[in-house]
Amino acid sequence: MDQRALIDSIPAKLWIGGKAVDAEGGKTFPVNDPATGKPLTEVADASPADAMKALDAAAAAQKGWAATPARERSEILRAAFEKVTERADDIALLMTLEMGKALAESKAEVKYGAEFFRWFAEEAVRIGGRYTPAPAGNGRILVTKAPVGPVLAITPWNFPLAMGTRKIGPALAAGCTIVVKPARETPLTMLLLAQIFDEVGLPEGVLSVLTTSKSGDVTGPLIEDPRMRKLTFTGSTGVGKSLVQKSATRLLRTSMELGGNAPFVVFDDANIDDAVDGAMLAKMRNGGEACTAANRLHVHNSVREEFTTKLVEKMAEMKLGPGVDPDTKLGPLINADQLETVQELVDDAVAKGATVALGGTAPGGDGYFYPATVLTEVPADARILKEEVFGPVAPIVGFDTEQEGIDAANATEYGLASYIYTESLDRALRVADAIDSGMVGVNRGVISDAAAPFGGVKESGFGREGGSEGIEEYLDTKYIALK
């Protein structure tokens, strides 16, 4: 399907109660193409009243969906997996148009995002409990699981499909209805996903999608309503903290996947070619706009020159251009604000003594493009070592001892993902244990997997998505005492 036909095929409305409906007053807002800075289309701009309609639908459908046999819920998720896979090219193109990433990156996201539906289709029929005699011999203990209830999911712009499927999959598998509020920058992919669920027979009201330019106004009343039972959020730590505070008044169940500042640590015994390949994956996946992206590259001084030379060669091959161009390897950043932030962080590092080995300056012109960039001799007080760059910039710093490498990796308030490269199994396990993060990649540049628990510690949040652990976030535990 060509670009215009694809965009026009998606009703640019809210999805509530199994229907595409206009926002209150017919209000809309533009969705822009990051490659040009110009609007692609307009979508419905939800109001607080629209949010209440979505919650009404979710609350009305909750009891029936919870009572739906697990096998039926499983089959709907499996059908959604197959439909997303079938429409992979359309979904990938749509993501590239609204988010900017290279088409190859979008195709990889479709495969990754769809996998959450297949995984949780399988988990839906494995929700267990336990039955055991009480140790005192005076009865029996029966433990069961029940769906939490209606869920509010707030998703970011960087993975328009996968950040939704990672929440929708376990929620539906557990028997929860869900209201999704996608990022204002990338609402189209979620609207297309709602269509797909309608096509595979998801009952009305089980999934609603609220597109809006006023996130706080729309989500605030939902968080305050006693019918809403869970909030799941992926985004910045600052916004996450605010949402936790707001949800605390009702003790709303929450899971937060927040910011990251991932270290990429290369030890002196590492295979340098493998480490460079891994760094390219960890740094440049999604153009660097990923919470798991390698934000700081800590390289042992004995191999730092070799690593830097080879990384610069690889980074120089990242052709910058519109994501829809099949030759493009690096698309634009999401918007002008992100472009400005990336440039500020690079300029700050250079002003404090860093050397630009590659890139370092936006090309200008239409769109929000920034080239693959490598910085060396980055000083410890550079902001880029402390703040999440969310762009294609690789700052390299050296270290001498194993403990120095560990200390450098842990020198952050964040703790989402970390990466280490070493040929020693003893060192790999020792360092992985010593690093304060929820996930550690050992000789791997990509660690995300639907079958594994995704999440962080410290200011990177709490809760897990994916794996057998992921569905627990959407289940309550009930204890029944039997005589």
Helix, coil or strand: residue 370: coil
Helix, coil or strand: residue 335: coil
Helix locations, 236-357, DSSP H: 237-248, 272-284, 304-315, 336-351
State the DSSP code for 463. Answer: -
- Contact (CB, 8 A) for 180 and 153: yes
Give kind and range of the element (H or E) at residue 104. Answer: helix 103-123
| DSSP string of 417-454, one letter each residue | EEEEE-S-HHHHHHHHHHS-SSEEEES-S----TTS-B
- From the candidates 98, 123, 185, 257, give the one annotated as an active-site residue: 257
Which of 241, 368, 358, 262 lies closest to 311 in space, CA to CA?
Answer: 358
Count the neighbouring beta carbons within 10 Å of the beta carbon of residue 403: 11
State the DSSP code for 465. Answer: B
CB burial of residue 258 (10 Å; 0-12, 13-18, 19+) = buried
Q: How far is the C-alpha of 36 from the C-alpha of 335, rounded, in Å?
A: 10
CB burial of residue 19 (10 Å; 0-12, 13-18, 19+) = middle
Which of 325, 46, 39 lies closest to 182 in space, CA to CA?
Answer: 46
State the DSSP code for 32. Answer: E
469 has catalytic annotation? no
Residues with Cβ within 8 Å of 144's Cβ and at least 6 positions away in sequence, in order, are 129, 477, 478, 480
Return phi, psi of residue 109, to 5°. Answer: -65, -40
Q: In what order do the strands lie in the sheet with 475-482?
A: 130-133, 140-147, 475-482
State the DSSP code for 330. Answer: B
Using the CB atoms, write b or e for 89-118: b if 16+ within 10 Å: ebbbbbbbbbbbbbbebbbbbbebbbbbbb
CB burial of residue 136 (10 Å; 0-12, 13-18, 19+) = exposed
- Contact (CB, 8 A) for 436 and 415: yes
Count the neighbouring beta carbons within 10 Å of the beta carbon of residue 70: 15
Q: Enumerate the active-site residues.
A: 257
